């Protein structure tokens, strides 16, 4: 597990959360008639919040500082 030290500001004021969406890897494949490209994603996009100062991550639905 990665240990991220919390900056002083986070301890005093709480974290500054920002919403992020991490796009999954997108794969383009030719369809059967080779005239169209189909977009296929290999995994679901990841929704999360990240503190702009210390980089801590938490779930998208989390509330508060
Ligand atoms: Zn923080």
Ligand 1: centre distance to CA 60 (Å)? 15
Ligand 1: centre distance to CA 22 (Å)? 19
Handedness of CA 49, 18, 46, 63 (dihedral sign): positive
Looking only at the bridges linking them, the beta strands covering 46-51 and 37-41 are unpaired
Ligand 1: centre distance to CA 56 (Å)? 6
Ligand 1: centre distance to CA 1 (Å)? 17
The confidence score (pLDDT) of residue 3 equals: 62
Ligand 1: centre distance to CA 13 (Å)? 9
Distance CA 17, CA 46 (A): 16
pLDDT tens-digit profile of 28-47?
776 666 666 676 666 788 89
**Mean pLDDT score, 6-22:** 87
Reported pTM: 0.59
């Amino acid at each position: 597990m990665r240990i991220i030290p919390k900056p002083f500001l986070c301890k005093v004021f709480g974290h500054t959360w920002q919403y992020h969406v991490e796009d999954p890897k997108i794969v383009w494949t030719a369809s059967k008639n080779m005239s169209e490209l189909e977009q296929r994603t290999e995994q679901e996009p990841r929704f999360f919040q990240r503190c702009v100062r210390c980089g801590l991550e938490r779930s998208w639905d989390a509330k508060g500082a």
